[in-house]
Amino acid sequence: YELALEYSQQREQFGRPICEFQGLQWMLVDMHTQLEAARLLLQKAASAGTSGARNSGHGFPDMLEAAQAKIFASETAIKVTNDALQIFGSAGYSRNLPLERMARDARMFTIGGGTAQILRTVVASALLDRKLPQTREGHFKLSQKENK
């Protein structure tokens, strides 16, 4: 985001900096807002193990809050990086800029430490307060109930 913000103030098209174009301003606002929301979710999840109503006392983040934060932050990383690439245009893919590497790294955030799909299953399980059929144990328990 910071690279795109700086670049938009330096790059000129039609005799003025591209940051003066409303569509690009909206992209920058969305990028900033999404990053701030991701930071707040991560901070909330990190502090949940030491304070708050859901404090388990073990010092680790709450699993639900950690999963939600990882889903949102990893998908935000992809979206913000893609928007930054859009602002940079073809220059964003240059190996001389860190943006090219960031685009590859952002994709890995949705895979490592639990894919976004698996984490959504974790969140759904917590929200519904039950085992879900996607899990072996949950499927077994639901099957037993149906056979009775």
Instruction: Break the chain into its structural domains and give their ranges.
Output: 2-114
What pTM, to 2 d.p., does this model score?
0.77
Residue 135's pLDDT is what?
58
More confident residue, 55 or 106: 106
Of 33-47, 62-76, 93-107, 118-132, the range with the lowest mean pLDDT is: 118-132
Question: What CATH number labels 2-114?
Answer: 1.20.140.10
With b meaning 16 or more CB within 10 Å and e meaning fewer, what string describes 55-81?
A: eeeeeebbbbbbbbbbbbbbbbbbebb
| 89 DSSP 8-state letter | G
The structure tokens listed for 5 are 């913000």
